[in-house]
Amino acid sequence: MKGPHNLWRLIRTGATFERTGAMRVVLEAMNVPPRLRVVARVMGWPFAWLGLKGDPALPPVTRALTALGPAYIKFGQILSTRPDIVGLDLANQLRYLQDKLPAFPTAQARALIEAELERPVEAMFSDFSDPVAAASIAQVHHARVAETGEEVAVKVLRPGIVKAFRRDIDAFYFAAGMIERLLPSTRRLRPTDVIAHFEGVVMGELDLRLETAAAAEFAANTAGDRGFRVPQPVWHLSGRQVMTLGWAEGAPLGDNAAIDALGVDRMELGERVLQLFLKHALRDGYFHADMHQGNLKVAANGDLIAYDFGIMGVLDEYTRRVYAEILFGFIRKDYRRVAEVHFEAGYVPADRDVEEFARALRSVGEPIFGMDASRISMARLLNYLFEVTERFGMQTRTELILLQRTMVVVEGVARSLNPSINIWHVAQPVVEEYIRNNLGPAALARDLGRALTVMARFGPHLPGAVEGALIRLRTPLDPAPPRRSLAPLAWFIAGAAVTWAAVATWLAV
């Protein structure tokens, strides 16, 4: 399905933003230069009549994103945590996308539950409410388990959501491909790989059996974390389209007035959000990758409660060590070491100058220290980092996309609780503890012990493996397979050329 027909989808996206008035709001919120604003409006205005109308009762940007579909709503959820990028007013509007979307009928939800679990709802739940929250992928009902009386949250996927997401992702693939072809300088960012990663994450989120397993694993990993809770899953009342978890009662993390009414210190809570995320990423290599305000609550005793585990991040041990060393280097202002780590990990091509890269990193890191986050424009900082990495040929690391995105979201959440929070000061004790436990002599001895254990486990196979390798070395190489004809691709190349020319002409108008 990935093809030129998606050009219509992209045109309609811009047209919807223009028709709903979202285009003007976004351009102003992002502080786009006046000349570019004029160009964007002129390009969008002729197509406005093609845009989706949306719900007139909603603010413009929220109206446009909800009309365009679930993938766009996900993007809006991320921006809702970044008032430093989109402005406080727009961020507050976008929070609507976290858990206040229109719900589908309760009768339809009950029918889906019964079809999935093959039992009447009344036999499973003594009470079953109307929707208490609705988001882009699913909605939640408050219920009580008939057998035990336990209060639970029952999550049910939206009807037709899989098809809707596939349609949006198909358009994103087309856009990524066109960007790579029309703007070759963006290829180092691997837009298509980024979309492939996004697709894998989202499609996993659409199978609630995987989310149930993620909740169970995350709860086990974090059982000892003070001030943090994860509701326990109810396995026999969960399936592909239905998930049942213990009920989480608390104030929404996006409601500062409610948090203050509980008597919870918001400054400490903001620091806790950041430090818990870093602990889970570095210590466990398994972290909640969708930590916006809509997925977090504050209990009456001040505990932070996490839920919605459809997107979880996984980091192997080596990547965790690289990430920790980079953070630690920035914290200590050891830019030479940060540069060396990038080269050792292969993030920067080996033919570049490490000293020059270290100086570039210093120009990024130094302005951060000594000032609170309210004085830092994260949008400007990220733009400068992009320029630096482009100059040194650093490619996008798809394995770090989720970590980087979540770090941005978590910092935004923490900043909503405490606008003057400084991520580096808060991160320092967590990163230092990880460095002590994983990069010292004890860690080296532990790594050697693991290597010996693996070798011992495969010891009986070593003689045969060595003998097979020697035999292959003495065997002549097979002749190269015949070259395949490229003629069958001619029709595709011709069609693609016409399409690219048309898009380029449209963009240049």
Q: What is the pLDDT of residues 35-56, one digit of tens each?
A: 666 666 666 677 777 788 888 8
- Laid out side by side, the sheet with 228-229 consists of 228-229, 304-306, 296-298, 251-252
Is the predicted pLDDT of residue 493 greater than 60, yes or no?
A: no
Residue-averaged pLDDT of the chain? 79
Residue 186 pLDDT: 59
Are residues 310 and 135 in contact, defined by beta-carbon separation less than 8 angstroms?
no
Tokens read off for 30? 């992002």
Is the predicted pLDDT of residue 499 greater than 50, yes or no?
A: no
Q: What is the pLDDT of residues 372-406, one digit of tens each?
A: 555 654 445 555 666 676 677 776 665 666 677 77
- Residue (of 331, 329, 347) closest to 399 by Cα position: 347
Residue 85 pLDDT: 59
Per-residue confidence band for 230, with pLDDT thresholds at 50, 70 and 90: very high
Q: How far apart are CA 234 and CA 90, in angstroms?
A: 38
Per-residue confidence band for 489, with pLDDT thresholds at 50, 70 and 90: very low
- For residues 171, 174, 179 and 184, what is the CA-based torsion angle, rounded to 10 degrees? 160
Bridge partners of residue 242, in order along the sequence: 156
Three-state secondary structure call for residue 288: strand
Three-state secondary structure call for residue 377: coil
Is the predicted pLDDT of residue 485 greater than 50, yes or no?
A: no
29-43, 241-255, 425-439: which has the highest mean pLDDT?
Answer: 241-255
Type of residue at 389: T
**For the residues 245-254, what does the mean pLDDT come to?**
91
Distances from the Cα of 214 to the Cα of 217, 232, 234, 243, 250, angstroms = 5, 11, 13, 12, 22
Kindly tell me the sign of the dihedral angle through the C-alpha atoms of 301, 302, 308, 309.
negative
Q: Please, is 294 exposed, middle or buried when counting C-beta atoms within 10 Å of its C-beta (0-12, 13-18, 19+)?
A: buried
Q: How far apart are CA 388 and CA 394, in angstroms?
A: 9
Residue 398 pLDDT: 58
62-66, 84-88, 138-142, 172-176: which has the highest mean pLDDT?
Answer: 138-142
Residue 491 pLDDT: 42
Q: Which residue has the higher pLDDT, 244 or 365?
A: 244
Q: What is the pLDDT of residues 81-120, one digit of tens each?
A: 556 556 667 777 777 776 667 889 999 999 999 999 999 9
Dihedral pair phi/psi, residue 419, rounded to 5°: -60, -25
Lowest mean per-residue pLDDT among 185-199, 287-301, 434-448: 185-199
Which element (helix H / strand E) includes 393? none
Percent of the chain past pLDDT 90, that is, above it, reads 28
Is the predicted pLDDT of residue 242 greater than 90, yes or no?
A: yes
Dihedral pair phi/psi, residue 128, rounded to 5°: -150, 110
Residue 82 pLDDT: 58
The pTM of this model reads 0.70
Q: Which residue has the higher pLDDT, 288 or 91?
A: 288
**For the residues 450-455, what does the mean pLDDT come to?**
71
Residue 492 pLDDT: 41
Is the predicted pLDDT of residue 279 greater than 60, yes or no?
A: yes
Lowest mean per-residue pLDDT among 271-275, 418-422, 445-449: 445-449
Is the predicted pLDDT of residue 124 greater than 80, yes or no?
A: yes
Residue 509 pLDDT: 40
Tokens read off for 225? 């974390």
Domain spans of the chain, in order of start: 4-97, 102-135+137-247, 251-456
Identify whether 265 is a catalytic site residue: no
Is the predicted pLDDT of residue 247 greater than 70, yes or no?
A: yes
Residues of 223-253 as b/e, b for ≥16 C-beta within 10 angstroms?
eebeebbbbebbeebbbebbbbbbbbebbbb
Query: Which stretches of 102-207 are assigned E, i.e. beta strand?
Result: 125-134, 138-145, 151-157
Is the predicted pLDDT of residue 57 greater than 60, yes or no?
A: yes
Per-residue confidence band for 177, with pLDDT thresholds at 50, 70 and 90: confident
Residue 188 pLDDT: 59
Catalytic residue among 290, 303, 334, 478: 290
- For residues 52, 54, 56 and 58, what is the CA-based torsion angle, rounded to 10 degrees? -130
Q: How far apart are CA 45 and CA 441, in angstroms?
A: 64
Per-residue confidence band for 286, with pLDDT thresholds at 50, 70 and 90: very high
